[in-house]
Amino acid sequence: MSISVDIQNDVALITMDDGKANAVNFDLMIALNKALDKAEADAKAIVLTGREGRFSGGFDLGMMGGFTREDSVRLLDRASELVLRLYGGPMPVVGACNGHAIAMGVFLLMACDTRIGATGDFKLGANESITGMTLPVFAVELARDRLSPLHQTRAMIQAFIYEPKGAVEAGYLDMLVEPDKVVGQATAIAGQLAKLPGHAYAYQKSAMRKPALDAIRASIGNHPNLRKMA
């Protein structure tokens, strides 16, 4: 997993690129947390993006094939902590979704404050009901907070996978631009957000999202439905 950080004009551009699907595993989360450390130290806003055509395809299922229950708990705990850092952290975070975002990939996207998507033949959504996995608490809380109530059943229970225009309607994305403009638009928005008083932004973000953040924190180390995961 290669994760780069480029800081310009108080905006940290964090790019995930493993040359494949940007699968979420322990290595990615360690590298992403290090990138966030640098961003929080040296910037005032963050843009999180993936490689061309792919934001993230979700958890690394190949890695999970040999997991014990303890391994699965550890994975969900680290993922919960990463979601808390993005969704509840003090800095503005803009997601630049330049392609597909599936399962854990779309949850990382939903944890960003503003989500810019690319037009094109891309798929976004949560496929857990298709793959036989149960939704972790952070996924349920993000869906309640970010998705349109009209789409929550279709998206999270029935595992409907959206194209970009439908993803805006559902609430996975906030706006669409051409693929070659995604990072530029996200960076411009992040630059605007970086000018807001940081203490006020941090308080408002934490206060508005407190019920979801509290529920996610309480779930760490406590995953009663894990035995039902495929």
Give residue 223's pLDDT: 76
**pLDDT band (50, 70, 90) for residue 227:** low
| Residues whose CB is less than 8 angstroms from the CB of residue 123 and which lie 6 or more positions away in sequence, other chains included | 100, 101, 102, 161, 162, 163
Instruction: Indicate whether 230 pLDDT > 50.
Output: no
pLDDT in tens, 138-170: 999 999 999 999 999 999 999 999 999 999 999
Give residue 84's pLDDT: 98
Instruction: Indicate whether 229 pLDDT > 70.
Output: no
Give residue 61's pLDDT: 82
Instruction: Indicate whether 228 pLDDT > 50.
Output: no
Give residue 169's pLDDT: 98
CA distances from 23 to 11, 27, 103, 175 (A): 25, 10, 10, 24
Instruction: Indicate whether 82 pLDDT > 70.
Output: yes
b/e map 156-179, b = 16+ CB within 10 Å: beeebbbebebbbebbbbbebbeb
> What does the mean pLDDT of the chain come to?
95
Distance CA 58, CA 20 (A): 12
Give residue 64's pLDDT: 79
Give the residue with greater pLDDT, 166 vs 70: 166
pLDDT in tens, 39-60: 999 999 999 999 999 999 999 9
Instruction: Indicate whether 62 pLDDT > 90.
Output: no
Give residue 1's pLDDT: 67
Give residue 66's pLDDT: 80
pLDDT in tens, 107-132: 999 999 999 999 999 999 999 999 99
Whether the predicted model's global pTM rises above the 0.85 cut:
yes
The neighbour count for residue 224, using CB atoms within 10 Å, is 9
Instruction: Indicate whether 225 pLDDT > 80.
Output: no
